[in-house]
Structure 1
């Protein structure tokens, strides 16, 4: 009964649906027919406005002009996330997309810095990070140099609804068919259990060989029809709600996201060209909805442009992201709070993984098994990274933070933390989204101080060590004075305005 995949139907629009449709059509071309079904009656969640650097791969594959993209999506540059009040109420640190200093082949830079700190060095690790130096000064431009020390990895903040519209235009230009309609049911083959067609409210049926479920939390196909199951991670990440509200843009557009801890969760602030994106993530077990709404409105940096919108969620993942002839992408596949801006990346990686294992000759159980294995590993790694922020806190102001220090964390995370604490060592696991520099910055930022460093860092004399570190710091600082402000860059590069 298995047959070649000639037609793919994407259920749902938004970033998940249109990114899926665009990438499939761009990479597979005329080998498949792609039809996307969405309803204007159904609004997208649309809170994912911050990204990480791999988003550039999607835009590159789709042949997107960066200046056009920045202009049409009201985007700004993202160099880092600033975590405020996470270790304790008065602390802050950056998680940048860059890496500090310059590492040797078998020894990361931070080992030299750790040794120097023990000898009395006063400068902090981020002073050797060009992304941090640019973020702190509110500057950005790509530096034309072959010297790796001058690399500035970056991502974007953008209006998610405008990005979806941007991808829709690209998709339809490539031949993706959009069908307007609300899906009320899906019919399964009585013998195989595979989805055969979608039933629309207007009576129309949309048939397909394979279906991408981008129906959001509803998970119409992957869960309601195929019952693929769900792993609930509330015991590790108890935040289950968020209020989101736009506000007027600030006079100066910062090139980083702000993540501001509060008594029962955290608040995001994302700067766009035309407004700010704001949200308050919290646990309903510690804070009721009315107080959460009031807290968000009281902590805005600018005038709200709408009423706060409540979003309810359960943290976890779909046990089978691919089941039979259905692939769940986006919120239908699971949810991890957007603390590290991974929501849109998980959409991207899901569809790229599918393209790499595309079942053109028919659905393969071995391909499904491998896909789901990789998906599980990815979700678990991102989960552990987010849990680290909560678990390694020293706040004393609320039962929420005290309880987070008492989590029974996964062995995988505990091992990574203990290894770093005892030896300073960090190892990137296979396909881990976050590099060693990311784990380094969050562990240090949350207060984990290594007891030891690698012996390679003992090779230079004390004087040579300090001289090396100072030279790197000066080199990293050299371009800052010549770089334009973030706002000037946007204005000059893509004609950005605040309208």
Structure 2
């Protein structure tokens, strides 16, 4: 007996976003679900999202991916955090490392005791109390338990194009149908406005019940057809251009991403097994395209293997990510700079949220469900926006027009409140399920030189000798665990191939 098709999903666009949701639907949608993905070889993808955060493990594990195979197929490497070089001032760098900082004591988190110790003059830099940063700074890597408890957190650097291919093979093996072609027009129901079909330039009409917009900045469905609207955040994040270029592998094979402040923006450096991914994010008001290209090419570790690829964008998000029978995922939903490697995570987050309320037969969903989804997306995007703005506004690069501008710009009210709480007493509040934790905010606030004027007075109830012991024992335990760790390159090669570097042919 032929199985009845319950819902026909049509994904417009491929790339990382399209194939991630295709793979997720292929894995989790109920039997009888039809999944088609329209993709044109003639249309390129942005594909600069080569760095991730630890939540990527949840997605890969849910699909049952073998980590070694994933690293081989995507030419990936490990990532323990992100170094911000020159963001406070030239010549200074700090790291937003994954994982805990120090250890809590009694009612208070470590940050309160560190702030007390800092005022008393015996606190060491934060990196001395972070397993990930100590390992990253010495270019070491480890998987497994740590003396701070739990597994050592890590993410990946990988080739986004190869990841899309990896996902495509998984999805097609589970029945996803790829349709080659360019979308010409979007057909809609005259009464409801729902999308009924996508007409390809080559002629075929692809009908469906639910449509997923992965068409990138063009947002052909969610904005072009459904006019979902756009919240422009360029007043908070004024960079509007990027250049991306790969280069030959050279220099340190770091287990961390680098974000290096430049004249009117910042440069990323992402080491893969076979090359280094580089890019410059900048504001065209303060830097010409030619200057941007010269800056990027002059600051590569090795010889470029392609010409710089330009990308124009406006930071912000769609007012509605889910409208009618259409969901926007990836760049079609909006864009924020990749300084904290959130691009792929936001695709993953949208997919996870969507699967929680997967439409029933025929792709229909109540408006209340769509409202919930959009409210959750807005909250997530706004809080990530605030975290990115913090990096810019808390700078001391005086005399540089771009940096002077972002230092003095008006801030979102939600960020202002967070800064006021921190400055008053070192308090950091993670609101609901916002992505970045108290520890992440702690590292960036301290790294950018945002001083807390006080700390929680409960910290004074602990004798100073005990606070000193807490800091010293934490540091010594972490250093002792990091010291015997292998180098990043040896660990990766042994993990992926089963051989050490000396055994791998050149």
Give your verdict on TM over 0.5.
yes
* Shift in CA distance, 25/104, structure 1 to aligned 2, threshold 3 Å: farther
Aligned counterpart, 1:191: 191
Correspondences of 1:378-393 after superposition (within 5 Å): 378-393=380-395
Please say if residues 11 and 35 of structure 2, whose CA atoms lie closer than 8 Å, have aligned partners that are also in contact: yes
Matched, 1:36 2:30: no
Correspondences of 1:36-435 after superposition (within 5 Å): 36-104=37-105, 106-144=107-145, 147-149=147-149, 151-361=151-361, 362-435=364-437
Please say if residues 313 and 335 of structure 1, whose CA atoms lie closer than 8 Å, have aligned partners that are also in contact: yes
Aligned counterpart, 2:463: 461
Aligned residues between the structures = 495
Distance in 2 (CA, whole Å) between partners of 1:402 and 1:345 is 31
Structure 1 SS opposite 2:452? coil
Deviation at 1:498, TM superposition (A): 9.7
Distance in 2 (CA, whole Å) between partners of 1:468 and 1:228 is 53
1:271-325 Cα shifts (integer Å, max 9, x gaps): 0000000000000011110111111101111111110010000000000100100
Please say if residues 5 and 209 of structure 1, whose CA atoms lie closer than 8 Å, have aligned partners that are also in contact: no
Please say if residues 229 and 319 of structure 1, whose CA atoms lie closer than 8 Å, have aligned partners that are also in contact: yes
Please say if residues 149 and 476 of structure 1, whose CA atoms lie closer than 8 Å, have aligned partners that are also in contact: no
Please say if residues 263 and 397 of structure 1, whose CA atoms lie closer than 8 Å, have aligned partners that are also in contact: no
Correspondences of 1:447-458 after superposition (within 5 Å): 447-458=449-460
Please say if residues 102 and 149 of structure 1, whose CA atoms lie closer than 8 Å, have aligned partners that are also in contact: no
Please say if residues 8 and 210 of structure 2, whose CA atoms lie closer than 8 Å, have aligned partners that are also in contact: yes
Distance in 2 (CA, whole Å) between partners of 1:199 and 1:228 is 21
Please say if residues 110 and 125 of structure 1, whose CA atoms lie closer than 8 Å, have aligned partners that are also in contact: no
Please say if residues 145 and 152 of structure 2, whose CA atoms lie closer than 8 Å, have aligned partners that are also in contact: no
TM-score, with structure 2 as normaliser: 0.95
In structure 2, which of residues 484, 487, 492 is the aligned counterpart of residue 485 of structure 1? 487
Point out where structure 1 has 5 or more consecutive residues left out of the alignment.
Answer: none
Deviation at 1:150, TM superposition (A): 6.1
Deviation at 1:267, TM superposition (A): 0.3
Aligned counterpart, 2:28: 27
1:373-424 Cα shifts (integer Å, max 9, x gaps): 0010011000000000001111014111111111110111011011111100
Distance in 1 (CA, whole Å) between partners of 2:160 and 2:440 is 25
Please say if residues 274 and 498 of structure 1, whose CA atoms lie closer than 8 Å, have aligned partners that are also in contact: no
Distance in 2 (CA, whole Å) between partners of 1:243 and 1:349 is 26
Deviation at 1:31, TM superposition (A): 4.5
TM-score, with structure 1 as normaliser: 0.97
Aligned counterpart, 2:477: 475
* Shift in CA distance, 115/220, structure 1 to aligned 2, threshold 3 Å: same
Distance in 1 (CA, whole Å) between partners of 2:219 and 2:144 is 44
Aligned counterpart, 2:11: 10
1:197-230 Cα shifts (integer Å, max 9, x gaps): 1111221111110000000001010011000100
1:48-79 Cα shifts (integer Å, max 9, x gaps): 00000111000000000000001110001010
Distance in 2 (CA, whole Å) between partners of 1:69 and 1:456 is 47
Distance in 2 (CA, whole Å) between partners of 1:70 and 1:480 is 23
1:418-474 Cα shifts (integer Å, max 9, x gaps): 111110011111110000000000001110121111223222222221122101111
Structure 1 SS opposite 2:317? strand
Point out where structure 2 has 5 or more consecutive residues left out of the alignment.
Answer: none
RMSD (Å) for aligned C-alpha atoms? 1.5
Distance in 2 (CA, whole Å) between partners of 1:122 and 1:225 is 57
